[in-house]
Structure 1
């Protein structure tokens, strides 16, 4: 109501809440959990719209997993859809893959997974790059390659993107496309029906890793995964601060 021009003091008195409390709430930064939920809402709204408003929470949850590698419960998706005022259409599910032939997004993320070698075994590192700006926006590491590695990197990217553009109005104002490198697919870290990036996506990824290898300034073979992980974290933090 205040955003629509009504006096905050009068609204606070009407609702029997303190005016100072309202301003404190407005100035307070949202929690990472709230930011992730807001970003999930944007993704869910887009999937639902691309389906012709036919998908229910079960199919929307499938698409979140297949397209983005994001694993959430049926209950979470159902509550988000209810809160956004959308629901599925009763009847037979459409078999069309919704993102084939859909609108061209304004921006796309590319996800890669690389095994970095140490004397005690590999350290698998998933990175999420904004293809347009070539910036690093999310990453995660693990001793083994699995889809959860990509999921954690994507959730970190979602949180960062939500901080960067908290006032985006609709799903169409935001990132709603994600591709995976062939390497991520071969390591079975990409979703089964995830989109494989084109030559440009792979060129962006290749250039990024060339820069990272120059920045690490470490031994040709790291002694253990822990020391490599610490150095990677410092390097990645510096890259994201510069983005």
Structure 2
């Protein structure tokens, strides 16, 4: 059974003057348990809208999303979200920010378990030394790691990431990508991530879903990244499958027409 089943989902919004804007049209996608899937496409193609629909933050106009065998009707503890903005409370320490996330999602657990979960999550992102620092006292990359820690602290079955590294410099981004892969390996979470970065998508993903331009955005092509894990960033630049998929992604994103959905593999 798929961890996430997106079944003929369309999403429309009502404009200020009464006009209807169709963001997504007839999106269907099956995501396997433990799979890492990246959504990629031009700005405004509905990537974040689709992610929000999986998260339960946006109801589909038509169709449905099923996670773990249950139809998504709103946010739930089985799904955790990491946004591009770290969204940390500046008056709380790193540890307190993570604890707050655990407390909000898992309301019935004891304070000692909240603290334990928060510390384990900070250890996963190598920030145990910064537990008592405030957001103003740490770097942008560290803030984003706290945001990731807050998400994984609740042990979600599904981890949703909306361009979590988009505002970071290249070296910091590469470091956090490696940490994210380690976290995914340990947690066995199913991951859906929005990105604009082709190389990031190929490095992280089992499959990359390229979306067409909106309105009425659809799935254009699906690229299978058949490269063994753990992956080596340098070796990936010479891997035939990765090179072929990178070329295919560039062509797909440059093409203004909507190709039919197809699976690209070795």
Q: TM-score scaled to structure 1, two decimals?
A: 0.26
TM-score, normalised with respect to structure 2: 0.24
Larger Rg: 1
Higher strand share: 2
Higher relative contact order (CA 8 A, sep 6+): 2
